[in-house]
Amino acid sequence: MEAYAERHGFPIIGPLVGRVLYQLARSIGARRVFELGSGYGYTAVWFALAVGPKGRVVMTEGDPKNSSRAMRYLKRARLAARVTPLVGDALRHLERERGTVDVILNDIDKWQYPEVFPVARKRLRRGGLLITDNMLWSGRVLRQRADRNTRGIQELTRLLYNAPDFYTTLLPIRDGVTVSLKL
C-alpha cells in the first residue's frame, strides 16, 4: 500500500500515524470505528487490526475505484470481514449511522471539517475519540488570509478547543493530528 501511494502520489497517513491510530483505538477498547474518507484503505487496515475479529470498521470513500482497491488490500491482509465499505458522501453516511461509535477518523475535504463536528458529537460515545488528520496543513493554518480548505481546518480547531464536552490535543506528527476525547 505504501509503495502504491508513493508511485501514484496518493497521500496516506504513513506508518507512524498508523501506529498511533492503532494504539488509540486499542487503548479505549474500540469495537466500532467510522472513517470519514478512507482513500484506498490504509487507515482501515490499522483500525481493523485494532478492533479485533468482533469489531467493525466502516470505511467511506467518494471514489468507487479507491473503495474497490481498499477491499482488495483488506482481503489480502485477511481483514475484509471486519470492514464495511460505503461509497459516496462520508458525512451523510455518518448521519445515517445507527447508534454510537467508539472512534471517528476525520480525513475528508478540509473545507468540510466544521460540518463534521456536530454530526460526530451525536454519533460518538462518551469516552470515544474524534481523530482528525492534517490539522497543521503544512503550516498554512497560521495564515490570516486563508483559502477555503485552510479556513475549514481553522474553524474546526476553534470548535474543538472551545467545546466543553471534548478534550482536544494536537499531536505534531506528520501534518498534525488532533485527538479529541468526548467527555
Q: Which of 131, 157, 122 is nearest to 35 (CA)?
A: 131
pLDDT at residue 120 greater than cutoff 80:
yes
The CATH class of 2-182 is alpha beta
Instruction: Map out the domains of the chain as residue ranges.
Output: 2-182
How open is the CA angle 28-153-58, to the nearest 5 degrees? 40
Residue that wins the pLDDT comparison between 6 and 16:
16
Q: What is the pLDDT of residues 71-96, one digit of tens each?
A: 999 999 999 999 999 999 999 999 99
How open is the CA angle 106-109-111, to the nearest 5 degrees? 105
Residue that wins the pLDDT comparison between 34 and 143:
34
> How high is the pLDDT of residue 139?
83
pLDDT interval class at 176 (50, 70, 90): very high
> How high is the pLDDT of residue 40?
86
Q: Which of 14, 15, 59 is nearest to 33 (CA)?
A: 59
Q: What is the pLDDT of residues 130-141, one digit of tens each?
A: 999 999 998 888
How far is CA 19 from each of CA 46, 61, 95, 154, rounded to the nearest angstrom? 7, 22, 28, 26
pLDDT at residue 124 greater than cutoff 80:
yes
Tell me the torsion sign for CA atoms 88, 111, 109, 59.
negative
C-alpha span between 6 and 11 (Å, rounded): 8
